[in-house]
Every structure is written in structure tokens, then in C-alpha cells.
Structure 1
Amino acid sequence: MTAAVLAASSVTVIPAPAAAAGDFSSGFEAGDAQPTWTNTAERGAGAGGYCCGLTSMESGVRAEAAHTGSAALMYSGAGATSYNRVFDVDIPVGAASTLSYWVFPQSGGNLDVAVDLAFTDGTYLRDSGAVDQHGVGTGPREQGSGGVLSFDTWNYVTSAIGAKVAGKTIDRILIGYDNPDGTARFRGYFDDIRISAGTAGGLSDLVDTRRGSNSDFAYSRGNTFPAAAVPHGFNFWTPVTNGNHDGWLYQYQDTTVQGFAVSHQPSPWLGDYGQLQVMPMNGGVRTSPDTRRSSFSHAAEIARPHYYRTRLDTYGITAELAPTDHAGVMRFTFPAASSSTSAPTILFDTVDSAGGEIGVDAAARTISGYADHRGQKLYFSATVDAGIAASGAVTGEGATSWIRVATPVSRQVTLRIGTSWISVAQAAANRDQEVGAKSLDTVRDEAAAQWDAVLGKVRVEGASADQLVTFYSNLYRAFMYPNNRAEIVGGVRRYRSPYDGLLHDGQMYVNNGFWDTARAEWPLLALLEPGRTGEMLDGFVNAYKTVGWTPSWSGPWNRAVMPGTNQDLAFADAYVKGVRNFDYRAAYASMVRNATVYSPAVDGRPGLDVSTFKGYLPSDVRGDSASWTLEDATSDFGIAQLAEALGYPEDAAYFRNRALNYANLFSPSVGFFRGRRGDGAWRTSDADFRPNLWGCEFVEGAAWHYATPAPQDPQGMANLYGGRAGLAAKLDAMFAAPRDYLPGCYSDPIHEMREVYASDMGQFAHANEQTHHMLYMYNYAGVPAKTQDRVRRVLTTLYDSGAGTGNGYFGDEDNGEMSAWYVFSALGFYPARMGSTDYAIGAPLHPKATLTLENGRTFTVTAPGVSDVNRYIQRATLNGAPYPKNYLTHADLTKGGTLDLVMGPDPSGWGTGAADVPGSITTGTAPPRQLVDRATGAPPALVDDTSMTKWVTEGATATITCRLAAPVAVRQYTLTSADDLPGGDPRSWVLQGSADGVTWTTVDARTDVDFADRRQTRAFGVAGGETYAWVRLQVTANHGAGQLQLAELQLLG
């Protein structure tokens, strides 16, 4: 898409659909809607008061606990059932209407609580069949037994109520407690109750799911496929143009369709798993993809998040798909019978490399079985609404069966397919629960309502029709991943873990490459759907609870194909932005394990046996050493942020110091970050260094693409380049550099090289995620106008609607990350410093955008007259007050309000002040200063910078003395457990310092310390700050073995 097409002066401006009537929200704060009734039961049976002579369930506003603000609606009582009136309202329900709220049940009671709605026709939501985001009924009994609520935490509940009760009018909002056999006391709180009308115009119809599918192995324009799904759904339903290839399922450039699949593909580079294909045909059975294929036309396609349709020209068949979470509906309209269209047939197939079984029960009109694909068994159960006249099976081509149907007069045949990772019976249960006898049209409309609800969280105005397609298609991709793995089994949420293959209670999410998504995708989810975000993060924490590690690249098990444990950043970023409904302490434990425990397998971080002590991963230990070092430093910042928030100051200080490890790879002689060997020498000589040489110490990039690798410490990076002006000059040089590349250690060009070259922005490589924060570093350098200019250039030249081309991106879309960058940047701000609450301000693409947040508040960005010409901010106001800073905070957004920007054709001085930039680890003008290891004179095995060796002594006690090279104040010290014999780990000790080696002063003492893992590094702080020439560790007890042993000792000062 060209600048001319995007210019506001050359297009018809189409505003986003306006909100329909029917919005309501209350957080029970001053200024919010307040309850009409207090302690007023509408219906009850056997419910009494909590205490103190009360005779019924209480319900009233209290300033005791709150999800947001300081007040919430308290409920309490004892006994069985009570539905209390809260609000008297008059709210029409539309097809896209949603209900959401937060509930905090206190332990000691029961979980059978929910918000209920009474309609003017005398019916109630609890009896409507409406379900929440987990597929659990919205009534109190269903919520209590559904396995989705927890005690003593805020639980988020949302339901697309329009799918069940559209056309009704809400008369009263109730809260219900319903436990017919209950006698116990109960108490808790509700907060942030919201009823949203959704969108009147169907934002889901603006989405083109084919964007990015014009891709292949050699060149990526997104590497997407047209998935029909529900947000974060269990399955994707997609046409397939490559029926025997589980990488590139659908390629826009292909001219034939070979099937319609249920897919779970996280990336074409990892391949699909658990795939099943269906293909209608007539005129005889054709089983192989090449023989059964049919020509089709993109002009006959409809590709929406909730619906796909095309015409199979070879057969004259119209094929349609519509999704639910665990099921889907396919409808095939066959042509009128003739000799060439006789014998309507539906084939069920897997890729040839997959195993499985497919059986047909003609009498019951069911087809069921499983596809065993990449070690994942997808069970399915399908019903067909036409008689099965004949059936058969084929051997030698994976699992393949077919049915011949007796088509009705309408010539339409409908398949209703349920899926499960658990069993065929569960697949049938999922189908019956989510589809039942619904038509494809009904399923399509219900899925559209779900998409309209999430897409409606952001409304842009003043965009062209093409820009609206681009924006909302990107937002669709952001809500597509990660994916639900759990199912409702007998009313309880369960999942089959891809890590151990067993069934577990609870939730699991899969399909996410955190190297990509931690940068923008997870921050966008935390902003727009914090409730679902917490649930999804908890789904990844459950992997840690099962196998001891969280995945860095889930697909669905840990693929670990990219550097870094960036899930650490996603956990921290969500927590500091207020997401609490996940087991953040278990998440924190997993983060610390990633960063401190040696792992010989794909889990955790490679090379910790060395990098922990050297402060970098040597290039002679691992090839992609620089990428790992730089990513680990950023993740360590995330650990420090969460440690501080959770009250672990020693960990916070230790990991914040490690977050400066990036500086160990800065080479002043060449002015770039680069790899270095274990002996400290650079991997290449200065003469041989080439900043455009890809690979070697860098993953999918060159030194240019890692020129600003530490968004956690932008001031420190600037100081390495000589100051903020030097940082800006480095960024300028990147754009001015020739765009040529050297394949380097890749030998042959990879697709990212071609995409960077084609983007024609010098050495800036937006096609890959490690650069996604780079343009916003201009803000930190004090020249935000360059951020505004270059971000707009990327938005308008490297993204498009894909209309008629199947394009959309330069580079892989990557689980929503490339799309989330666009959404943030088009809104005018971006989370450049992951793990913090800062958003660097760029400049919005459109004149107005409004975010509707889960707390019921809105945040609006206005930029009247913004265009390719008027691209620079002249001045800004936040909620009417002058705003000189070039960043926002998360609190600025969640409090609600308006950022008004005045735009102009020339750069201005706005945001350029020394105090106008966001935070940084380093302050002042000096290069980053790390605490470094000062331990000398100790037994060699303790100071050899590797945990592969160990120091051993007989007995349970010992004294280790270090004579330092020079007097120093030790601020922290670390001990690393050995490779075996946990009983030999130190348990209690004192650390002492001395000026002369004779008189000693205790500076720290510890008792009953555990090392949970082998080769685990633990850090301890030292108070006081006195300088000593001698330091000794006196171990006074171990864990019971006859020997005492340690792998490494560090004294950091």
C-alpha cells in the first residue's frame, strides 16, 4: 500500500461503527452507578444472615476490598439460595452484547455465586443457556461447580449474552448465591460489573483472515492462514491448499483447494499437529490431495474470523465453515443431480505422515475416530444430517475414510464436528454442548458476536475502508493466540497435558513463541483483556507445575526454537500492569529457575553453567551466544521487576544487576554489540567485523539489528554510545546504511534477509521481532519526532490490507506479535520497555481512537488533522492539562481519559526535555556500572567461572577465605549448589569481612537455606557497604551429608 493511497486527502473516510445503546458499568466508586437496592432478596430459599442477627443475604457497597478503586459490592450470608436485587436498569440486549464482572469469593464458604440478569419478559440469564468464556453456564450453581472460580482471588467472568438473549431487555441486575444443600456461611465481593452492547456494525466483517497467506519458505508476507475460530480458541478451521503438507496449509497464490481442516498450527516453521481434513466431492471417490483438489476463485471466498465460504468450481459445491471453541460446523451445498455430479461424497483424511482411525456408523449418521499427528491425538466425533448410503476406508494414505450421502432436496449437507484431546466420547460431548442442533448460520452469528465484542475494545475513527481492514485484521490476529487446551469434562475443566500426556484439572494454553510475543502481543492482551490474560498466563504456569519448566516456545510442548526465556517478561509485564488472576508466585518461581538453574535439555537457558559467572554466554560455548546474552538480560529485568513487586529485595537487586549484562558485549572499538569468547576476546577481529553479517552469535539478524538490545536500560545504552545524541546518531546510521546483507553463518540467505532488503529502510529490520522497540528508542534519545516519522513510515509501507494480493506484512506475523506492534503504533503509543508500566508515545495513524477497558473506563487519543504530512506532534494535553512527557504510564490508560495531540508538518520541541523520557536502570551520563565478581584466593573450583566443577570437603562445616585483589564493598554474594548430593549443600553460614585477615566483622548470616535444584545459583544481599580486603564464608551446617560441597562462590562489589 502506498502513501498516496493512505493519505487522508485521497480516500473516502469511513468512521468505525458507533456503539449501540445498552452500555452499563459500575465499579461502585464515587461517580459510578450505585445500587438501587441494598440487602434486598428477590428470591430465596433457606438462606440466612452471615452473623449478628441478620436474617437474609447481605448485598451492599463496602470499602473493604476492590478489584479496582477502593469499593466493591459485598455479599454475605449463610445457607442455601438467595438472589438479591442490585440495579434497576432498562438495557436492551443486542446480538453482540456481553456481560462481564469480577468476583472474589472468600475461603470458608462456597463458590456458587454469579451476577444474574432479570429480563422484562420474566426470564433470567441463568436459565438462558448462556455460558462464560470457559463454556460454563452463567448461573451460580454452574459457576460453582464448573471448576473455573477460585477462593481469595479476583476471578474474571465474561459472557457473550447476546448469543442467547438478544432482543430482550434487562430490567434488573442481580447477584445470586445458589447452593440448595448448603448450610455454611459465605462471603465475598463483586466489582467492575459491565454490560456492553458491542458493535452495531459488525467489526468482524472488516477482517480478512487471508492477509499474510501469500507466503512460502523463501519469502514471508505474514505466513498466516485463513483461520475461522473463536478468540483464543481450541481449534482453527481453515481451507487447505496443500493437503499433504502441515507447514504451509493455505497459500494465497495457489489455485486449488484440497480440503478443509481442523488445525492447531502455531507456525508453518513448526508445522501443524492434530490435523483432520474433510473434502466434499462428487462423481466418485478421490482420496489423495492431488486427485481430489478443486479449482476455486478468491472472488468467491468470504474469509472472516467467524466464517469461511468458497465455491469448489471443479465440483460445483459451495463449502462453508463456522467455529465454536471445541467444535465446528461445515455445510456443503451440492449441485443439482446429474451424471457428472452423482454420488455426493465427503472424505475424512489426515496427512500421510499421520496415523489414526476413522470409523463410520451409518445407522447413527456419525463419523468418529482420531488423528495421531506429531504425537498429538486429536479425537473427533461428527454427525451428518443426511443419510449415509455407503462408506469405505483407504489404506496407505494416513487415516482416510469416506461416506456417500443421500442428499436432501435442498442439496445441503451439514457436518457438526466435535473435537477433543481426551477421547471420542468427550469430542461428542463437546459437539453436543457447543453445537447441538444449531445451524451453521447460528454458529456463525454466535462466533461473530464473540469477535465483535473483542474487536470492539478498540474503535478507530477517520480511517479509510482499507485502513479499517488492516487495523481490525491485525487486531483479530492479536486475539487469535495463544489457544485454549482445556475442555469441560463432566462440569469440570480438564486438559491433556502435551508435556506428560496425562489428564489434569485446570487450565492450559498453548501455541505461543514468547521470543516474539513478549514484546507487544502480551502487553496488548494485558491492556485490553487483563482477565483473560491472567487465565492464559496461568495456563502456561501449569506447565511449570507439571514438568518444572515453562515453555519459551509452546507448540504445544516446549519447542525452544528461539533464544531467551521471554515468558519471564510476559509474566512480569502482566503483573506490574495489574493482572493478578494467575499464580504469579509459581510464575516467579519458574522465572527464577529459568535464570539460575543449569539445564542440559531444551528447557531454561543454555550455558548457565558459564554465563552466570562471566556475565555473558561465550561464543565458543554456544554459537548464538550474543542473542542469548542480550535476551537473558532483558528477561532478568522482568524478574527484577516482579521480585520487587512481590517483596523479594535481594532477588530484585541481583537480577537488576544481571539486567546490565548486555553491556559486556558492547565493543567500543567497532561501536556495536558482538560476541566474545570465554577468554574475553571478541569473536572476530575489528578488521574482520561486519555489522551486516547475519547469524553466528546472532539469531535471525546481524549486529545492526541488535544495536539497541536493552530497552530495560536506554540511558545506559545511550551512554555507551557517548550520550543521547550518540544513541540517536546510531539509529540514524542504521537507516542510512546500505541495505545489503551477508549470509554469514547461515551460508545461504534466509527469508528474513530478503524481507529486510525489500523493505528498503537501510539496515532497520522490522521483519523480525528483536527490532520492534528500536524506533521508540528515539524517544529515550530525546528526539521523539524521529519516532513519529519512522513509525508512520513503517505503518504505511510495511503493512497493508492484503486486498486482492494476500499480502499484509513484511516477515512472519508470529502469533499476533507483528499485528500487536501495528495496533499499538497506530494508536500512538508502544510498550517499548517490556516489564515496566511505561508506553513510549509515537504518533497515531488516525485522527481518533478509543479504548474500552475491562474496568468500564475509556481512554481516547485524538490527533485532528494527522496525515502523512502532519505527522509530528506539536504539543499534547492529557485530560486537559499540558503534557510534555514523551511517554504514558499504564495507570494513565486504566484511569481513563483523553490524550489530545496537536499535529503539524515539522518536528517540534515537544517531548525533548531531559526529564521528558521514561525510566531506565542507569541514570546520569556514565556507562552502566555492574557489580562484578571480586572473589579471589578461594579454592580454584569455587572461582573458575563454571558450575561444572565443584569444591568438596569432608564434614558439615568449613571456612572459605578470600583475599581480594583490592579492598571492596561486597554488596551481594552468590552460592551455587553442586551437581549432586543435596545433603552436602550449605544450610547455615556467616559471611565476614576483615581489613587485615585477623579481625573479622560479620556482615551477613543465614540459617536453614535450601537449594531446591542442582547447579542452582542463589543470591544474598550484604548490608552496610563497608570496604574489606578479606572476606570469608564460614559454613556452620549442611543438610546432613558427610561432605560439604559447592560449585561456585561469587562476591559481587
Structure 2
Amino acid sequence: MRTNVKLLSLIALSCSVLFSCQTGKRDTKAPEDKVYMYIGTINPKTRGAIPVIKVPGGSVGLFPSFTPGFTDMYVADKIYGFPIGNGSLMIGTGDTKKGIRANASTYDHDLETATPYYYQVLLEDPGVNAEFTVTANTIVFRFDIPKDQRYDLLLNMPKNASFALKDSSTIAGSSTGRNNAQNFYTLQLSRPCQSFDQTADGWSIGFPASPNGETLEVKVGISPENADRATDFIAQEIGTMTFDQVKQKAKKAWNEELSLIKVKGGTEKQQELFYTTLHRTRALRMGNVWDTYRSAYPLQSLIKPEDTNKAIREFIRKYEETGWLPSSGAMIGHHSTAVIADAYMRGVRDYDVEKAYEGMKKNALQATMIPWRDSGYVTELEQCYFDKGFYPALPVKKGALVPAAVTNDINEKMPYQVRWMPETGVKEWVKEVDSWHRRQSVSVTLEHCYDDWCLAQMAKELGKEDDYTLFMKRAHNYRNLFKPSIGLMAPKSADGEWIEPFDPKYSGGFAGEAYFAEGNSWVYTWHVQHDVQGLINLMGGKEKFVRKLDELFSTSHRMDKLTFLGQFPDMTGLMGMYCQGNEPVFHIPYLYNYAGQPWKTQKKVRQIMDLWFDTDPHGISGDEDGGAMSSWYVFSAMGLYPQCPGRPIFDIGSPVFDEVSINVGNGKTFVIEAKNVSAQNKYIQSATLNGKPFDQTWINHSDIVKGGKLVFEMGPRPNKQWGSSPEAAAPSMSAPENE
């Protein structure tokens, strides 16, 4: 039997890479070699994170399609194909069966290589070693075919697809996917095919057997415009390059992208986590701005502002096309406003600012706030927000039977299903609100008043004083839902009455969605990013604020954990009621900075990084979505965080590396040095900025992009004098009240 030397060498290399990864001894010299592609692919909540192989900024991205129905892809037993546009490509040998499922293949992670720019796996059933790499708009596949085996490329496409054989080695066609997204394709084969047949699932491209085996390369160009453009992409982006040359070019692109931030020191795992999370947040499409406005976009605006400009220009294009700026997808808030305002305030302004403002204002005044609903109308719910300053909850009918789980007297014997859906006794009358589109009244109020603050900042910058006055008034709306008797946010009905009974841990039904978005009152009370000092004032001063913040991290759900997560499946990564697995909490650990106790921020962010991130399939504690959670780790590991997008500053946490060098463009670098830093030495003792004493818990974006050096002296115990004075806290909308 002939031995496929190339295949065995690839397998050996794959095993070596994986083994060294598992033992923590792999070569980590280049940033792209530190990336673990399968992070978070086993998820404690819904589906795991999905890896993607693409070049930075590229339009084409893919990863194998694993067994359908496996939400935790790492443990899936088979590969069903390799996605291309709206369909997928697979290979079969011998008497290839018809249908996608029939040609799925078993595989072994120990015989696999996955990097940001290249993928290789042994498809065990057909005995084919499969590889691919990418350019911005193309994919190059390479398949090693065993000897004496005829084989078929299986092009699995939607039923609306159309493909034709242009010549024996060129195929062109198109297909339409979800949201009417159309793609045009050109496939160029390195060998002429023997047959081209349509099947129930797409097309089968047949090749004859070779007595010595052979290697087939397939170049795929993809364009949303037309097939000629897809062909042009192959010529322009691949040309005469070999597979390995394309691969090396993609590797170089990722090395340049990830080297925008260079780290020294820390543990090997911390470096791998840093570059893994940096890769994810730079590789994923930031489509749903509900989560990515928080830290993914501010990170992009810092290291790749041209990409933020491009994204905002696309927002504006959609506004001109549809009449609405993108909202928050399947969530709440009009957070394209936050993205634009944050970019503008950071000096990222290469777009039509007046047109952007026009769309932001229209969203704020004319679009529905009902979660998951498309923009375009105003109901009585929005009118209540406009007139009374809060989004109303469905009232509770007096005398209605409410399950004990929403009272302070928890009956542990009550079936958990009863806890999920507390009855209000009142039928919903707003037709746009249903079991899928809940009111989420407290969260809607808080997220929209933050957006209003962002819009007010833009209005002020653009000299629109009347708009500034209006939206600044609305930016205070969070105060209307603060309930002094519990010291937390709570829902009100349209008549201004508090909803009773109300429990800040359990009320709201499944996912808390009667009043909250994927959480409870303990989570959303802190969603006043623009006015932390105002929240401190409401709570009665800094000491009471800190006690309440401490209580967040120590409050137990007092029931079986699975029962609690059955009602609140998004509250994963729990530390008390704090849930690192969901984006609305990201800024909360940094709030101690505003109350004169920054050492608690330093301790908490270190603890969260250690507990809830890892370089394995379990390494992300909740929904990753568009790279939002990864961006939290990137910032926090550097010792910074954009607590309030729209205010061009970064809050200071606790860096984990000896040195971080950030390429801020124009030939300038900003360096963060942490002397004596270690797992124990997590507390800031003192700091200097460009050689001058630095005693505040925040830094201006402008100071960073000018280039310079921020130096921290780190130690094992808190220096409670550093950053604790009232003047050291970052700005807020409100001024401190007498305490």
C-alpha cells in the first residue's frame, strides 16, 4: 500500500500543535500563534461561540459546519461541510451517496489544525485530508485524495440556487440566503471534472480515480454583486500565488493586525488569552450594537479607527436606504447612537456627521422602543417615556395570585415552572407586545436614557442647543425608576405606581423580560453609565453605594442553581447576582472607582479575568455574540475599560502584563507599564503619566492617541490613598451632593 507522506506529515504537525497547546509548551513567538480558535465553543447557556477564519476586514469568513443541533460544536461528532456564502462544500470518495447528511464525515480534533488564517482536518470517512485558507473575498481549498478513488465535490446550496459548468474546470452560479442576501460564485478547479450533475441538495462535481492519488485545489470567489466580480476577486487576490503563499499572506495579515497591541510578561496563558480574545473581537462581525457598543467599538476606534468610520458610513447607508439607523437588532436601545457618539467624541469623524445626527434624532423621537421590534412607529408605551420619563410596565391587578417566588418569602418547595411566569391578572392590550416581544420596561428606560445622553453630547458639539436641552432632560429618566425603599431600580405602571409585589431577584417572569432584558434588578440598577455620581447620590452617598455594590457580588439566589438559571438563563458566570456571562454587567466592576475605592475595582477585575476566561472550549462564560465579551478581556488585561462610551475616556483597572504597547496610529505608541505586577501584586501603589505623578482613576483618550507612557507601581496590598480622592473619579453627568 502506498503511503501518503504529505498526509502523514500534516497529521503529525497537527498532533504536535495540539499537544503543545494542551501542555502549554507551544511556540508563542508570534501573536497569531497564540490564538486558540475553539475558545467558548462549549457554552453554559445557549450555543457555543462560533470560530471564524478570515483575513482582517475580509468579507469571506468560514469554519467547518459540524453536526446540526450540536450547540456546543467542539463535541460534535461529524463535519458536514465547509461553508461558502449561502451554502457549503463537501467531498466524498468512492460511490458517493446523495444528500448532505449521507456524506458527513467523522473527524478527530487530534488530527486537526485551526488558526486564524488556515484550517486542516482529516476527514476520516472519505480518507481525505482537507485544508483551506482565505483572502478578503476568496477561499482556497486543498484536498488530498487517496489512490484509486473516484471522488465528488458536493456543492450544497439552497433550492433557489443556480449553477452552471462554464468549462471543465470552471463553475459559476448564485444563491439567495436569509434576509434575501444574494451571493455570486466562481469555482475554479485545478483539474477538469468528469461530470456535473444536479442533486436534491445542490450539485455533484465528479472526478475520476488516480492510481497514485492526487491533490485537488478549488479556488472560490464570492461577490454580492455578480459572477464576473467573483471571478475578478480570484484573479486579483490570488492570481498566480500557490496555496501556501496565500496561507502565508493571510498569516502575515493577522500578525500585523494582532501586533497593533504588543504585550510582554504575564503568564503564557494570559498572553494566549489576550491574543485569542483580541482575535475574536477583530474577526467577528459587530452586527448587533446592543453588546458591541460597550467595548468592542471603543477598542476598534482606538486601534483601527478607519474600521469604525467604515461601519458608521454603513449605518448611514442603511438609514438612507430604509429611513432608520440600525437599532440593536434583537435587543433593546438605539445603540448605533452610542457607537456614533463615542466615535465622534474620540475624534473619529470620517463620515457625514449631519446625516448621522439626523438618523440618531429620528430614532430617538419616532422609533418604537419595544424590544425585538423594527423601527417605524410610536405606541402609548413610547409616549409614556416621552411624557412621564419612564417606560411603563404592565400593571398587576389587585388581588391577583402571584407566585411566592416574586415575594420575599421564598417557598423552596414550589415547582420552578411556577416561578417562571408570574401572573399579573391583567391582559396585555398593546398589540405590538406579545410573548416574544416583552415590555422589559426597566431595561428599556435605562438603556434609552443612556442613548439620550449620548445624543445630547452630539447635539452640544454640533451647536443644536434645543436638542441638547431636550435629550439631557431625558438622560435623567433613570431617576424615575429608582425605588428608595429597596435601593434598586423597579418597574412602574403608566399611572406612576410601583409594581407590587416586586422582588429584585426574581420578578419579571422568564429571563425577567416583563421588566428587564436577560437579567434582574440587581443587574440593571447599575446601568447608568453616563451618571454614576447621580446613582451614588440616589443611594445616599459613596459609602452606601459601595455597600450596595458589595452586596451585588455577595447576594445569593437562595435556591437550586439550575432552578435559578432555568428562569434566568442569561445570568451565567455568577458571582452573587453579578453575571459575567452577559454584557450589561461589563462596566459594573469599574464603578468602585467612582466611589473612592478603586482597589476594589482592581481586585474584582482580576478575579473575573481569572475565573471566567480560559484557553479551552469552556473559556467564555456566556454569550460572545459579536466579540463583545472578548473585547472586555482585552481592555481589562491592559488595565483600561471604556465604562461610558460617548465620554472619551478610559477607566483604570488592574493590568496583568509587565508592558503593553498600543499602536495608536500616525507612528505613535502608547505604553502601559506595570512594575512588579503578578497574580498577588494586583493593586496600584502609585502611577506616573509621561513621568509626572498620576493620581486619577481614568485617562483621556486624547492622552493615549498622542502617544506616551503610563507607569504603574504594583503591590500585594491596596494603597487606599491612590485614586481615592473625590477629584480622582471620572466625570459624571451629576455633581456630588453633600454626604
TM-score bracket, shorter-length normalisation: 0.7 to 0.9
The alignment status of 1:913 with 2:720, answered yes or no, reads no
Pair 1:473–1:336, CA change in 2 (3 A): same
Match of 1:779 among 580, 586, 593: 593
> In the TM superposition, what are the counterparts of 1:208-607 in structure 2 within 5 Å?
208-215=36-43, 218-219=45-46, 223-242=48-67, 251-262=73-84, 274-337=85-148, 342-350=149-157, 355-361=160-166, 363-374=167-178, 375-395=180-200, 397=201, 399-404=202-207, 411-482=214-285, 512-553=287-328, 560-599=329-368, 602-603=374-375, 607=381
The alignment status of 1:614 with 2:439, answered yes or no, reads no
Pair 1:475–1:744, CA change in 2 (3 A): closer
Q: What is the rounded CA distance, in whole Å, between the counterparts of 1:480 and 1:468 in structure 2?
A: 18
Match of 2:539 among 721, 738, 741: 721
Cα deviations by residue, 1:175-233 (Å, 9 ceiling, x for unpaired) = xxxxxxxxxxxxxxxxxxxxxxxxxx5322221222122248x445xx32231101232
Q: AA paired with 1:540?
A: F
Q: AA paired with 1:542?
A: R
Cα deviations by residue, 1:118-138 (Å, 9 ceiling, x for unpaired) = xxxxxxxxxxxxxxxxxxxxx
Match of 2:494 among 658, 678, 690: 678
Q: AA paired with 1:209?
A: M
Contact persistence 1:386–1:408 (CA under 8 A): no
Contact persistence 2:508–2:514 (CA under 8 A): no
Q: Secondary structure at the match of 2:361?
A: helix
Q: What is the rounded CA distance, in whole Å, between the counterparts of 2:653 and 2:322 in structure 1?
A: 42
Pair 1:684–1:367, CA change in 2 (3 A): farther
Q: AA paired with 2:50?
A: F
Q: Secondary structure at the match of 1:238?
A: coil
> In the TM superposition, what are the counterparts of 1:797-808 in structure 2 within 5 Å?
797-802=611-616, 806-808=617-619
Question: Partner residue of 1:661?
Answer: 477
The alpha-carbon deviation at position 691 of structure 1 amounts to 6.5
Cα deviations by residue, 1:842-896 (Å, 9 ceiling, x for unpaired) = 0101121110111211111111222221111111111111111011110111111
Contact persistence 1:595–1:605 (CA under 8 A): no
The alpha-carbon deviation at position 740 of structure 1 amounts to 5.1
Q: What is the rounded CA distance, in whole Å, between the counterparts of 1:625 and 1:920 in structure 2?
A: 24
Q: What is the rounded CA distance, in whole Å, between the counterparts of 1:856 and 1:648 in structure 2?
A: 36
Q: Secondary structure at the match of 2:500?
A: coil
The alignment status of 1:819 with 2:623, answered yes or no, reads no
Q: What is the rounded CA distance, in whole Å, between the counterparts of 2:324 and 2:540 in structure 1?
A: 40
The alpha-carbon deviation at position 376 of structure 1 amounts to 1.9
TM-score by length of 2: 0.85
Pair 1:673–1:405, CA change in 2 (3 A): farther
Pair 1:747–1:577, CA change in 2 (3 A): closer
Match of 2:443 among 597, 602, 627: 627
Q: AA paired with 2:661?
A: T
Q: What is the rounded CA distance, in whole Å, between the counterparts of 1:710 and 1:345 in structure 2?
A: 58
Q: Secondary structure at the match of 1:915?
A: helix
Q: AA paired with 1:634?
A: Y
Q: What is the rounded CA distance, in whole Å, between the counterparts of 1:411 and 1:834 in structure 2?
A: 55
Pair 1:652–1:408, CA change in 2 (3 A): farther
Bigger shift: residues 733-742 or 588-597: 733-742
Bigger shift: residues 400-409 or 880-889: 400-409
Structure with higher strand content:
1
Q: AA paired with 1:552?
A: S
Match of 1:205 among 22, 33, 39: 33
Q: What is the rounded CA distance, in whole Å, between the counterparts of 1:292 and 1:687 in structure 2?
A: 53
Contact persistence 2:681–2:715 (CA under 8 A): yes
Q: What is the rounded CA distance, in whole Å, between the counterparts of 2:661 and 2:629 in structure 1?
A: 21
TM-score by length of 1: 0.61
Contact persistence 2:488–2:504 (CA under 8 A): no
Where does the alignment leave 5 or more consecutive residues of structure 2 unmatched?
1-22, 395-429, 434-438
Pair 1:545–1:850, CA change in 2 (3 A): same
The alpha-carbon deviation at position 687 of structure 1 amounts to 7.2
Q: What is the rounded CA distance, in whole Å, between the counterparts of 1:692 and 1:737 in structure 2?
A: 18
Question: Partner residue of 2:5?
Answer: none
Question: Partner residue of 2:514?
Answer: 696
Extract structure 1 runs of 4+ deviating beyond 6 A. 11-16, 741-747
The alignment status of 1:875 with 2:686, answered yes or no, reads yes
Cα deviations by residue, 1:567-598 (Å, 9 ceiling, x for unpaired) = 10000000100101122221111111111124
Where does the alignment leave 5 or more consecutive residues of structure 1 unmatched?
1-10, 17-200, 263-273, 483-510, 554-559, 928-1053
The alpha-carbon deviation at position 293 of structure 1 amounts to 1.4
CA root-mean-square deviation? 2.6
Contact persistence 1:359–1:401 (CA under 8 A): no
Q: What is the rounded CA distance, in whole Å, between the counterparts of 1:785 and 1:293 in structure 2?
A: 53
CA radius of gyration, larger in: 1
Contact persistence 2:492–2:498 (CA under 8 A): yes
Contact persistence 2:187–2:220 (CA under 8 A): yes
Contact persistence 2:194–2:205 (CA under 8 A): no
Contact persistence 2:56–2:283 (CA under 8 A): yes
Pair 1:598–1:255, CA change in 2 (3 A): closer
Contact persistence 2:41–2:50 (CA under 8 A): yes
Q: AA paired with 1:464?
A: T
Q: Percent identity?
A: 30
Number of equivalenced pairs? 666
Q: What is the rounded CA distance, in whole Å, between the counterparts of 2:273 and 2:230 in structure 1?
A: 35
Q: What is the rounded CA distance, in whole Å, between the counterparts of 1:654 and 1:344 in structure 2?
A: 68
Cα deviations by residue, 1:414-452 (Å, 9 ceiling, x for unpaired) = 000011112222222222222234222121111112111
Contact persistence 1:869–1:904 (CA under 8 A): yes
Q: Secondary structure at the match of 2:90?
A: strand
> In the TM superposition, what are the counterparts of 1:820-899 in structure 2 within 5 Å?
820-899=631-710
Question: Partner residue of 1:119?
Answer: none
Q: Secondary structure at the match of 2:579?
A: coil
The alignment status of 1:731 with 2:549, answered yes or no, reads yes
Cα deviations by residue, 1:302-345 (Å, 9 ceiling, x for unpaired) = 111111111111222111111111111011111222xxxx2122
Query: Of the two structures, which has the highest relative contact order with CA contacts closer than 8 Å and spacing of 6 or more?
Result: 2
Bigger shift: residues 858-867 or 435-444: 435-444
The alpha-carbon deviation at position 766 of structure 1 amounts to 1.2
Cα deviations by residue, 1:622-655 (Å, 9 ceiling, x for unpaired) = 6211111111011111111111222222222221
Contact persistence 2:196–2:203 (CA under 8 A): no
Pair 1:584–1:14, CA change in 2 (3 A): farther
Pair 1:688–1:417, CA change in 2 (3 A): closer
Q: AA paired with 1:348?
A: L
Question: Partner residue of 1:762?
Answer: 576
Question: Partner residue of 2:419?
Answer: none
